[in-house]
Amino acid sequence: MLLRLIVSIITTTAALVATTTLGQSQSGQQAIEEIEVFANSRRSEGLNSVNAAVSVLGEEELGLILHTHYQEALSRIPGFSGNRNNGQESLMALRSPVLTGSGACGAFLIAENGIPVRSAGFCNVNEMFDTHSEYAQSIEVIKGPASAFWGSNALHGLVNVILPRPGEVGELSLEQGPRGSYRAKAAMGSDNGNFKQSLYITGINEEGYRDDSGVDQQKVSWLYENSLANGIKMEGGFTYNNLNQETAGYVAGAKAYADSDKRDTNPNPEAYRDSQSTRAWTRVTMESGSWEITATPYFREVNMSFVQHYLPGQPIEDNEHRSIGIQIAAFREFDNSSSFSWGIDAESTDGAYKENQPNPTSGSLFVRRTIPQGMHYDYEVEASQLALFANYEAPLTDRLGLSIGARLEQIDYEYDNLMLDGRTDATGVACGFGGCRFSRPADRDDDFNDISPKLGLSYELNENHNFFVRAQRGIRAPQTTELYRLQGSQTVADLDSVELDSYELALQGGGSNWNYSASLYWMDKENEVLKDSNRINLNGSHTKHEGFEFAIGYDLTDSLSFSGVYNLADHTYENDLVSGGQNINGNDIDTAPDHFGNLRLTYRPAGDILAELELVHMGDYYTNPENTASYDGHDLLNLRLQYDVNDDFMVYLNALNITDEEYAERADWSGWVGDRYFPGEPARVFVGFTWKYR
């Protein structure tokens, strides 16, 4: 059924291309050319010249969404189906299932202005909240492996938040939402000729829909540009984020998200998440002969503490890491319109991890005997990352273009266990039933060497439509928690780097009043580490990921336009794995909907009024690897209105879930409690204004 539908859509798209006349206005294509993207090659280039599965949310669209959580924005991106958890938490999905477990976050690289927000071996599934996305000028998303310019963790995709160019600005925004939630944003900056600088501040206070689930968050970004007399350009700045969140846990029971007695309760009022992160960077660009060279030194620090409320015993995790690194790239253009680039990335990181359970474990005798109170893990890791990459772009004919590149990367870990080795409690006392749930390996060193090649061909079908073929490999080294936070009888995690081979066919184009993109992809992944229903690692997993993505925009009239994305996907286990006593080979991966999408009608009856009606569709999906539990999916309707009182003052209203749908932001299944959910919020309205005083 899925294959027939994909073939039907491809046939329709091909017919559309074939019947399009060559005499169309080029204004639609010009609009595409005006979109700049940084994520593909680490320097700005026109989107229409990029042979990569890139989608960009621009400043105007982000200014309409005014998201309170990044999921509200990325749901418009083909291939995205991530879950919003409680507060600012999330689980990413890009051409993938929603992945959980120690290394799940390693499938996606999250960056701000090209600087990854976490070190390659120290990711976190929630790291998107480290970006200052509320002030993003654009958000760039690469679906699938992210070219030769990005290495470990850019496996299923890359999200790069681009902050505004610094300069003269003066702006204040205030917003009020339900249950006493507030958000304030301020921007101020100056343009002093060769030196420009801006400061951006965001403050969030949210009581939370569920009991004891408030959020306080502050973000600050300072950006600068400095053009020197010798032609050297310097740009950079810093971002600081502080999050203090009271976290609401899962509500358990069949369709508990629709139970009025449960959906706004919090079974884990003691849960919290505190996180602080800082990044500082400077990008230096200069000309040297025929080469353009950029060097970007940076510093990163992350500290996070939270209660693992989803585990028996509810241990507290404290993790931290500090990194210094540099990105170097050189670019050269040739007379035949070809280009060559190469570069080096180097990073050194010091990290630490602690897990302590302050209270006794409750539950069955087995759980109480295998998960003792006290310290579970306490270790440090010194990590280094070194990579060399090269990329070549060339026209083979007037219509046919070639893109080829590769990245060679090495990651080394030096692990130091600060506790007793083995499966005992902190004092050396053995647990019952064969040993404690957690296992601490002895001190060791690990290194991973990987190569990720890519090959792309582009063909201009006519002046308005282009066809692309892409083949590339994504890689990610194991995360430190996968290697050193062991479970059960593991004494050594004998893990290889995860490898994902991706193949894609794509069409894109448009005319004076419409545009589209269509992609068909196949991906094969080896050495994956997954979690079963009891959160036990399933090492050496083999999975397949196939799908079709379609995005379209069309101006129905001068004042009314339609746009949307629709996704079909199939994510399956492909080797013998036992979960819940069953062999799950051939099963659908849990939290992997077969279909999902986003449709929007935008209406601008006058230059000072803008309205949008948005439908967000989430299809049904299995919630456990055994495929015995499932979630029915949901449809949400959102309304956004903006009115420009004058050139300097704008008021807005965002009404989310206006039909008051009872739904789950995340549906899950646990071997301990069965069905469990993060309930979605009921109908809610946010009102605010933006005053541009300069």
Q: How does pLDDT run across 254-293, given as a tens digit for each residue?
A: 999 999 999 999 999 999 999 999 999 999 999 999 999 9
Rounded average pLDDT over 663-682 = 93
Q: Where are the domains of the chain?
A: 2-692
Q: Give me the pLDDT at residue 101, please.
A: 72
Rounded average pLDDT over 308-312 = 88
| Residue 189 in this model has a pLDDT that exceeds 70 | yes
What is residue 691's DSSP assignment? E
Rounded average pLDDT over 482-493 = 82
Tokens 């329709």 locate to: 12
Rounded average pLDDT over 679-683 = 96
237 phi-psi bin (left φ>0, alpha ψ -120 to 50, beta other): left
d(Cα 631, Cα 689) in Å, to the nearest integer?
Answer: 38
Q: How confident is the model at residue 546 (pLDDT cuts 50, 70, 90)?
A: very high
Question: Which CATH code is given to the segment(s) 2-692?
Answer: 2.40.170.20
Rounded average pLDDT over 215-236 = 95
Q: Give me the pLDDT at residue 167, please.
A: 96
| Residue 30 in this model has a pLDDT that exceeds 60 | no
What pTM did the predictor assign?
0.92
Q: Give me the pLDDT at residue 14, please.
A: 39
Q: Identify which has the larger pLDDT, 23 or 652.
A: 652
Q: Give me the pLDDT at residue 533, please.
A: 62
d(Cα 411, Cα 483) in Å, to the nearest integer?
Answer: 13
d(Cα 519, Cα 466) in Å, to the nearest integer?
Answer: 12
Q: How confident is the model at residue 21 (pLDDT cuts 50, 70, 90)?
A: very low
Q: How confident is the model at residue 525 (pLDDT cuts 50, 70, 90)?
A: very high
Return phi, psi of residue 42, to 5°: 65, 25
* 417 three-class SS: strand
Q: How confident is the model at residue 579 (pLDDT cuts 50, 70, 90)?
A: confident
Q: How does pLDDT run across 419-462, given as a tens digit for each residue?
A: 999 999 999 999 988 889 899 999 999 999 999 999 999 999 99
Instruction: Check the CA dihedral 495-470-344-232 and report its sign.
Output: negative
The burial of 83, by beta-carbon neighbours within 10 Å (0-12 exposed, 13-18 middle, 19 or more buried), is given as buried
For residue 33, give Cα distances in angstroms to 53, 113, 160, 552: 16, 21, 19, 17
| Residue 66 in this model has a pLDDT that exceeds 70 | yes
